[in-house]
Amino acid sequence: MRVAPCLLPLWLAACGAPLPEDAADDVPFDAPSDASPDLPPPHDLGVPVDRAPPPDVPDVPDVPDVPTLADVPDVPDVPSIADVRDVPSVPDTPMVPPGPVLYPSAARHSPITAELVTRLRAISARGPSLSRDVFSKVGDSITVSTSFMACFASVSGVDLGGREHLRPTLDLYRSGSVGGTDPYRRVSLAATVGWSAGAALSGSPSPLSRELDAARPRAATVMFGTNDIQSRDIFRYGANLLDITDQAIARGVIPILSTVPPRDDNADADLWVPRYNAVVLGVAQSRGVPLVDFHGALLPLASHGLAGDHLHPNTYLSSAGYRACALTPEGLRFGYNNRNLLTLEALHRVAEVTLRGRSAPDADAPRLRGSGSHADPFVIPSLPFADARNTATGGARVFHRYPCRATADESGAEFLYRYTVARPTPIRAMVITRGATDVDLHLLDRTATAEGCVARDDRVLVTTLAPGTWTFSLDTFVSAGTARAGEYLLVVVPD
């Protein structure tokens, strides 16, 4: 049987294209929250978690709706970079290209390697008329707060802490103008107290579309999840975050995604934070766009860099007042100061390679091993792990039915992942899809055969793996003779 595995991430070659729901409430700083708009289908899945924005958020006149931009052509395929090391004493042996880049979970910034530079430049090429000195802000109250980025507009309020290499990018966006102000201080149409990810997509045109039309930015910071956790619907969250990311990319806007802070206000909610953050990592990695780990930056700080509500970041208070843009050792003991540094650094890394023609800042990065085939499964090196594939354009058709759910027709294409553990390991494996796609999770024992299936679910498997080697089969469900093939995002985290 001929196997046609998908070797590259979804933003390369033919491994898949971007896929074709929801606002929980956000908690303002010091007042009970107001109900935020429900998304279709209308239902309230959670309770408010965010408090009202600080009083220093300026009022601005309503911005009229702007028609959305027409769809733009797909980003051209980006070839992978061949391994250029010499192969000794084996003439004419073809080089094996490296696997797709994996985003390390412990890094403050995701890697930008040579092929990711190509990817970012290809995104930018889709919007040649966009403003090179403008970025947009997309998110909830943690983004609405004037402690986020606004202080960069003031010369006297900024202390780079010796990071003078960031000044060209700092000044670049000071020179930008949108609606009579700069992007640092501008009030975004796609950032509102009380929002979860779906709120940015609701309506026609959506707030996201209106913001991108009005600002015409080259980049956009995106952070949702703190409120989405209230619903515990991580599958809807993942689908919405994919939609936000894909819609930005389609316009030539480079989205910069961020992990979310701890939820020290609620122990159960905080258990979900690493799961949601693994989804954020997976979305960014699958699209080859930047990721900043705000959560990781907060963990070492006193009180996790959170204010008295144990939910929103705190801000450095000096004798001269609040200074969220003091990027000094004293300032970086606080939450918003860390987010501002990470965001400015990310904007700088993007500007360097897309606007200034600089080479990749990272020589290489961790790579996914394997091809996903039965003979050569993808290797899960550690947790958290995420990977996106498309069973409509790749995968093998070897397994058709599994004894763990013998009535289900799984004769569509599948990809396999191998995971070896040395000790009992509690895990949670999740598969996120959109639209009519139906790709199911199967856990196989050491035989890695359909007959070795020990568990199966449509979306999530929670179990403890005994020491040994296990295989996940991500297989396409067939309904009435039609394979429900398409893109999926696999996320595996410790549980």
Q: What CATH number does residue 475 fall under?
A: 2.60.120.380
CB 35 within 8 A of CB 179: no
Same domain, 129 and 223: yes
pLDDT (0 to 100) of residue 196: 98
Question: Measured between alpha carbons, how far is residue 353 from residues 116, 264, 278, 367 in Å?
Answer: 10, 37, 26, 21
CATH number, domain containing residue 269:
3.40.50.1110
Question: Within this chain, do residues 155 and 251 fall inside the same structural domain, yes or no?
Answer: yes
Q: What is the pLDDT of residue 24?
A: 38
> pLDDT at position 203, please?
97
Structure tokens at 357: 């023609």
114-125 and 335-354 helices cross at what angle (nearest 10)? 80
Residue 207 and residue 151 in contact, taking contact as beta carbons nearer than 8 Å? no
Return d(Cα 452, Cα 104) in angstroms, integer: 31
Residue type for position 92: D
Of 368, 389, 416, the last residue of a domain is 368
Q: What angle do CA 53, 283, 305 make, to 5 degrees?
A: 40
Tokens 């060209």 label which residue? 168
Q: Give yes or no: residues 187 and 335 share one domain.
A: yes
**Residues 53 and 183 occupy one common structural domain:** yes
Q: Is residue 358 part of a domain?
A: yes
Residue 5 domain-assigned (yes or no)? no
Assign residue 113 a region: left if phi > 0, alpha if psi is -120 to 50, beta otherwise? beta
Give CA–CA dist 286/387, Å, rounded.
7
> Is residue 340 a part of any domain in this protein?
yes
Residue 1 lies in a domain: no
Query: Under a CB-based contact definition with an 8 Å cutoff, are residues 335 and 306 in contact?
Result: yes
How far is Cα 216 from Cα 373, in angstroms, rounded to an integer?
42
Q: Which residues contact 381 (CB under 8 A, 6 or more apart)?
A: 102, 366, 369
157 and 301 share a domain?
yes
How many Cβ atoms sit within 10 Å of the Cβ of residue 367? Answer: 14
Report the C-alpha gap between 28 and 26 in whole angstroms. 7
Q: Tens-of-pLDDT digits for all 495 residues of the chain?
A: 434 444 344 454 434 444 333 333 333 333 333 333 333 333 333 334 444 444 343 443 443 443 333 343 443 443 333 333 333 333 343 444 568 999 999 999 999 999 999 999 999 999 999 999 999 999 999 999 999 999 999 999 999 999 999 999 999 999 999 999 999 999 999 999 999 999 999 999 999 999 999 999 999 999 999 999 999 999 999 999 999 999 999 999 999 999 999 999 999 999 999 999 999 999 999 999 999 999 999 999 999 999 999 999 999 999 999 999 999 999 999 999 999 999 999 999 999 999 999 999 999 999 999 999 999 999 999 999 999 999 999 999 999 999 999 999 999 999 999 999 999 999 999 999 999 999 999 999 999 999 999 999 999 999 999 999 999 999 999 999 999 999 999 999 999
Helical residues (DSSP H) of 318-360, grouped into ranges: 335-354
Domain boundary pick from 309, 335, 368:
368
Residue-level length of the chain: 495
Instruction: Provide the domain limits for residue 122.
Output: 11-85+95-368
- The whole-angstrom separation of Cα 116 and Cα 42 is 39
Please state the domain count of the chain.
2
Q: Give every CB contact of residue 408 below 8 A, 6+ residues apart in sequence.
A: 401, 402, 440, 456, 477
- Residue type present at position 414: E
Same domain, residue pair 321 and 405: no
**DSSP strands (E only) in 391-467:** 414-421, 425-433, 439-444, 453-457, 460-465
pLDDT for 99: 81
Mark which of 316, 339, 368 sits at the end of a domain: 368
Residues pairing with 491 in the sheet: 386, 430
Is 264 inside any structural domain?
A: yes
Q: Do 324 and 452 belong to one domain?
A: no
Q: How far apart are CA 387 and CA 394, in angstroms?
A: 14
* 395 and 254 within one domain: no
